[in-house]
Structure 1
Amino acid sequence: MAGTLAAGALAGCAGKNQVPSIGYGVDAVVASYNGGSALGANSGAAAVFSRVLTGFFYTGPDGQPVADTDTGTAKEVPGEAQTIQYRLNPEGVYSDGIPSSCDDLVLTWAARSGRFTKPAPGGPVPLFDAASTDGYRDIERVDCQPGSKDATVLFRPGKHYAAWKTLFNAAELMPAHVVATQVKVPNVVTPVQTGDQPTLERVADFWNNGWTLAPGKLDLTVLPSSGPYRIDSFGDKDGLVLVKNEKWWGNQPKTPRIVVWDRHSDLKAKVSDNSVGVLDVGAGSLGDVSLSGFHKQNLPGRGVEQLVLGTGGVFGGADARRAFASCVPRQALFEKFGHPDYTVKIGLGSGPLNSRTVQQDSVYYQSISGAGDKYKGDGTAAQAAASSSLANQTVRIGYVKPDDARAAMVAAIADACKAGGVNVIDAGAPDFTASQLTEGKVDAILGGTAAMPGPSGTLGATDAIAALRTGAGLNFGRFGNGRYDAIADQLAAEDNSTVVLNLLNEQENLLWSEMPSVPLFASPRTIGFGNGMENGIAGATKAGAGWNMDRWVLKR
């Protein structure tokens, strides 16, 4: 023991010591462990749990899918139908000692395929409250012997999903054995394969609700980890505490404890009292907070800062939605909020964003982005609103408070739309959720891709595409357009650039005409790493700066 102390003392004299616990301040809202559900995806599970619940791929710092061979391997097999062979790591085991198995893939597919429904007054509705079914609904079946490490995923004849590396991903591949225990069945594979409706309804009920997270109310038995960290506790005072998962078989995490402070923590205070070693928030959202102890940068994100509009109430008609878009001062909002401390000449963050689904650095962007040019929000445009069905109407814009930048944006929109006779109200609240748009409690959401309050977006824009699809969980405005759905399906499989360009042009014209949302700009993010931090790599995507938290080392 004396030797250890002496070594520690020497280390202290020689330089800085490694800090055993790092605070991660992120403007996600910790609400669900299940990143494949609408609640989990919208609240930011990918930014918090990517190194707790691992998958075959995770979202890298540029928004691209990166293979995670610690979880297993996935490879496309040649053949007439698209087929992916998944092989889980033989050493893979959850923190509760139960081995990972292909049951996890079967559960994820069942929940996200859209094929399991229950009767409702207006016709069948999905059993599972999935964020989206994109890719999964094209899968014919998942061949899996319960408990096996191997799964073969076969797509439907004639279907091809180019973005298959976004399936069975980190924060979305959930532990099937937990569900089996909760609903008291030997495994979830058999009821899925046999279509056992009563059991599937119980499975869906747990998948939808059993993984919700609230401070002080954790049942750790349903929250096993398949990654380098596991949940230890979650409280208002102490944050969400992640600790080293003793059963993890891969490279051990460099720091044994990470404390996540989400948007419901007082992030400003946490930064001021040095509780935070890594910060990832919307630029300007914390107001005049001092980041003197950080190496920080503002950068354009892969998320789309946008107004997601309802399709009922005041926005029941496309003409009202277009009128509102014409009074939103898109150019002025970009100038003031869209590129803080940076000026980009071309590509991501170089101007107002004229597409909801195509990134500004895409080879297609310049050719398809013209449809949005007339929506600049100048004085003439505001007058267009005055002569529309929106005149003398009230528009309530919701977002998660506190957020200084979004509050100022709503004020600027209110000011601009007043000239068009439209009364814009700030309906932001600390307990705001995207489902309030679906319920008609607000008329629009100011947020990122798929109305996410915090980190959002990927290179392939899969969430952005899904958020406009009829019936998708992330489609909080309940927009539905069969032609949009068909174009999205075709684009998911198309590799001929001329066909892609034609489809994208048609899609953009359709979306600017129907106006389910008003894109503003690439969401600017402030990412800061405390002085003395090693291996901090900014990722302005839905996985946030926490995408590689198991590599972080902070020396003080």
Structure 2
Amino acid sequence: MRRSRIRLITVLATAAAVTAGLVAGCSTTNQVPSIGYAVDAAVASYNGGSTLGASSGAAAVFGRVLTGFFYTGPDGQQVADTDAGTAKEVPGEAQTVQYRLNPDGVYSDGVATSCDDLVLAWSARSGKYTRPGDNGPVPLFDAASTVGYADIERVDCVPGSKDATVVFRPGRHYLPWRTLFTAAELLPAHVVAQAAGVPDVVSALQAGDGAVLGRIADFWNAGWTMKPGSLDLTNFPSSGPYRIESFGADDGLVLVANEKWWGSPPKTSRIVVWPKGTDFAAKAKENALGVVDLGAGSVAELDLAGFDEQTLPSRGAEQLVLATAGVFAPVEVRRAFAQCVPRQALFDTLGKAGEPPAIGLGSGPLNAHVVQQDSLYYPAVTGAADKYRGTDIPAATATLASAGVPQPTVRIGYQAPDERRARTVAAIADSCRGAGISVVDAGAPDFTPVRLAEGAVDAVLGSTAGVPGPAGSSAGVTAFAALRAGSGLDVGGFANGRYDAITDQLAGEDDSTVTLNLLTEAENLLWAQLPSIPLFATPRIIAFGHGMQNGIAGPTQAGTGWNMDRWVLQR
């Protein structure tokens, strides 16, 4: 009898425990093993230092796949990544930076990171390697820009070593040196060496054999191009917490935990990046997204129920990048066009990120080309923008008449679909029609900024450097480089020797008075020549699904995925 009672009590207790467990299970949440990340960068190249990679927004996708000594933080600042290695300036007659890669650093294919990677980055972006062209030497490497790298005299590196010493040219001091050798731009040199058929790129680049250099450049330019469904993953090893598992039109870019990563493992083992071209509204309805980082108003019928969302002004400058050939070859036509573009109205209807602040990012139309709205210098350098603050159709008509170009047609290109940019083009067309300027919407799903250089369009509508999605940083290096003669990002073909000289001096200038004078001169020059027309700080919608932990908005070139390896989604 006693044993029976004990058995009965035991059964009842067990049942109660199971029931309690079931009730508790209904009220608890579980970590989602895979997070969908919607971002309007265009995945086109693994190489963020190339023109294609930079102009498509590689930094917003591959920052935690290809690490560097620094990355762009959520406020646009450069942040040291000590998992990748350390970098410090050391005393010397010439500016010298000592780089030391993490001793444990290894790519996902098992090959150690080495100073070879720095030598490759510097060589590709220094502008020192050229080939004959119809109008003189042209760069062998299709680098987004040479800014900073061109100031480096040499990179001391024993092939395969973890140490590199970077020595700048005599008389040059490059203040924003932390923007060099960064995330998404420091690439696996051993992959290039294998493709070029050489033991290592350091020795090959030093030898200077033309045929070998050509093979190295060819791979650097095109070997990391990305098309859905056709990746040879042996060419895409990772140096970060994530590596590429696959890339498909239907399945997105799938990133998984890199088993070779030596730092803290990612908190979520799988991230699916849904890039520009995705039906974002459909993905949101399918509950396939955990993080959203898109241009505000760019996606029609985007339902973000179940998300905590905010609209923020970004470090990217929404702008029209103009050709300096074709219809816009005469500067008077560029000026007439600027006079009819309704910049204030565009800000009022499409450029606001909530209630505008009195000053700073997003406070009004952007009245500078290279100086950001929250810069201390901004209020003092915008005087030249006064004549273009409001629409002036009579002035535009008179300016156009003085150019002797009757009824020009302006084709504005952007990567479609993009509801806000389509509305922007429509508003410009309505306004400029009164001045006799016809505006054509040339947006297309396969659009890239290089079409401006090819003469297929007359203007690009995009963010800084024509990028379709996340863009900009507090250093503003890309903004300056995109208007520099010979830069891969200078798709409009703007060339002004004085502007180039100003940017060279600014890069090493630490006197605030001199800096103010140089920035004022630069803005006066750019408003006079109009290689671009700034509109407003690009507004972005950034949203995290309910239950997201460690999500921090990043309205910069690195995007909100800047810390994706820390994301945890509980549902």
1:529 matched to which residue of 2?
Answer: 544
Distance 2:46 2:540 in 1: 24
Distance 1:527 1:418 in 2: 35
Distance 1:8 1:542 in 2: 46
CA-to-aligned-CA distance 1:469-490 (integer Å, 9 cap, x gap): 0000011101110000000000
Distance 2:438 2:131 in 1: 41
1:68 matched to which residue of 2?
Answer: 81
Out of 276, 283, 286, which is 1:270 matched to?
283
- Once the two structures are TM-superposed, the CA of residue 7 in structure 1 deviates from its matched residue by 13
1:346 matched to which residue of 2?
Answer: 359
> Residues 92, 6 of structure 1: CA spacing in aligned structure 2 closer, same or farther, 3 A cutoff?
farther
One-letter identity of the residue aligned with 1:455 = P
Out of 501, 506, 529, which is 1:514 matched to?
529
> Residues 384, 335 of structure 1: CA spacing in aligned structure 2 closer, same or farther, 3 A cutoff?
farther
**Partner SS, residue 43 of structure 2:** coil
One-letter identity of the residue aligned with 1:474 = L
Matched-pair contact (CA < 8 Å) for 1:323–1:388: no
Matched-pair contact (CA < 8 Å) for 2:144–2:487: yes
One-letter identity of the residue aligned with 1:101 = S
Distance 1:139 1:245 in 2: 33
Out of 425, 444, 458, which is 1:429 matched to?
444
Distance 1:383 1:118 in 2: 45
- Once the two structures are TM-superposed, the CA of residue 370 in structure 1 deviates from its matched residue by 1.1
Matched-pair contact (CA < 8 Å) for 2:118–2:181: yes
- Once the two structures are TM-superposed, the CA of residue 196 in structure 1 deviates from its matched residue by 2.3
Distance 1:19 1:190 in 2: 47
Matched-pair contact (CA < 8 Å) for 1:103–1:187: yes
Q: Which moved more, 1:333-342 or 1:519-528?
A: 333-342
**Partner SS, residue 245 of structure 2:** strand
- Once the two structures are TM-superposed, the CA of residue 237 in structure 1 deviates from its matched residue by 0.8
Q: Is there any run of 5+ residues in structure 2 with no aligned partner, and where?
A: 1-17
1:461 matched to which residue of 2?
Answer: 476
TM-score (norm 1): 0.97
Out of 401, 412, 420, which is 1:387 matched to?
401
2:182 matched to which residue of 1?
Answer: 169
> Residues 23, 7 of structure 1: CA spacing in aligned structure 2 closer, same or farther, 3 A cutoff?
farther
> Residues 161, 9 of structure 1: CA spacing in aligned structure 2 closer, same or farther, 3 A cutoff?
farther
- Once the two structures are TM-superposed, the CA of residue 342 in structure 1 deviates from its matched residue by 2.7
**Partner SS, residue 507 of structure 2:** helix
- Once the two structures are TM-superposed, the CA of residue 265 in structure 1 deviates from its matched residue by 1.4
2:371 matched to which residue of 1?
Answer: 358
- Once the two structures are TM-superposed, the CA of residue 245 in structure 1 deviates from its matched residue by 0.1
Matched-pair contact (CA < 8 Å) for 1:326–1:384: no
Distance 2:88 2:29 in 1: 44
Out of 226, 240, 244, which is 1:227 matched to?
240
Mapping 1:460-479, distance limit 5 Å: 460-479=475-494
2:332 matched to which residue of 1?
Answer: 319
Distance 1:6 1:88 in 2: 54
Distance 2:221 2:19 in 1: 53
Mapping 1:188-207, distance limit 5 Å: 188-207=201-220
- Once the two structures are TM-superposed, the CA of residue 341 in structure 1 deviates from its matched residue by 2.4
Distance 1:297 1:118 in 2: 49
TM-score (norm 2): 0.95
Q: Which moved more, 1:227-236 or 1:385-394?
A: 385-394
**Partner SS, residue 327 of structure 2:** helix
Q: Which protein has the larger Cα radius of gyration, Structure 1 or Structure 2?
A: 2
Q: CA RMSD in A?
A: 1.5
1:309 matched to which residue of 2?
Answer: 322
Matched-pair contact (CA < 8 Å) for 1:385–1:421: no
Matched-pair contact (CA < 8 Å) for 2:356–2:364: no
- Once the two structures are TM-superposed, the CA of residue 236 in structure 1 deviates from its matched residue by 0.8
Distance 2:67 2:304 in 1: 31
1:21 matched to which residue of 2?
Answer: 34
Matched-pair contact (CA < 8 Å) for 1:382–1:416: no
One-letter identity of the residue aligned with 1:432 = F
1:538 matched to which residue of 2?
Answer: 553
1:125 matched to which residue of 2?
Answer: 138
Distance 1:120 1:383 in 2: 40
**Partner SS, residue 247 of structure 2:** strand
Distance 2:353 2:65 in 1: 32
CA-to-aligned-CA distance 1:106-163 (integer Å, 9 cap, x gap): 0000000000001112111000000000000000000000000000000000011100
**Partner SS, residue 505 of structure 2:** helix
2:499 matched to which residue of 1?
Answer: 484
One-letter identity of the residue aligned with 2:560 = A
1:377 matched to which residue of 2?
Answer: 391
> Residues 141, 8 of structure 1: CA spacing in aligned structure 2 closer, same or farther, 3 A cutoff?
farther
Matched-pair contact (CA < 8 Å) for 1:327–1:385: no
Distance 2:353 2:372 in 1: 19
2:70 matched to which residue of 1?
Answer: 57
- Once the two structures are TM-superposed, the CA of residue 384 in structure 1 deviates from its matched residue by 3.6
Distance 1:418 1:411 in 2: 11
Mapping 1:269-288, distance limit 5 Å: 269-288=282-301
Matched-pair contact (CA < 8 Å) for 2:332–2:402: yes
- Once the two structures are TM-superposed, the CA of residue 323 in structure 1 deviates from its matched residue by 1.1
Matched-pair contact (CA < 8 Å) for 2:335–2:396: no
Give the % identical residues. 67
| Matched residue count | 552
One-letter identity of the residue aligned with 1:404 = E
Distance 1:96 1:11 in 2: 43
CA-to-aligned-CA distance 1:352-384 (integer Å, 9 cap, x gap): 111111111101000001111210224444434
1:442 matched to which residue of 2?
Answer: 457
Out of 110, 113, 117, which is 1:100 matched to?
113
CA-to-aligned-CA distance 1:297-337 (integer Å, 9 cap, x gap): 00100000000000110001211111111110111111111
Distance 1:183 1:194 in 2: 14
**Partner SS, residue 387 of structure 1:** helix
1:48 matched to which residue of 2?
Answer: 61
Determine whether 1:401 maps to 2:413: no
**Partner SS, residue 435 of structure 2:** coil
Distance 1:489 1:30 in 2: 31
After the TM superposition, which parts of structure 1 deviate over 6 Å for at least 4 consecutive aligned residues? 5-11
Determine whether 1:293 maps to 2:306: yes
**Partner SS, residue 131 of structure 1:** coil
Distance 1:138 1:319 in 2: 35
Distance 1:90 1:450 in 2: 36
**Partner SS, residue 172 of structure 2:** coil
One-letter identity of the residue aligned with 1:480 = A
Q: Which moved more, 1:465-474 or 1:280-289?
A: 280-289
**Partner SS, residue 436 of structure 1:** helix
Matched-pair contact (CA < 8 Å) for 2:336–2:397: no
1:258 matched to which residue of 2?
Answer: 271
CA-to-aligned-CA distance 1:494-515 (integer Å, 9 cap, x gap): 0101111111111111100110
Q: Which moved more, 1:51-60 or 1:271-280?
A: 271-280
1:246 matched to which residue of 2?
Answer: 259
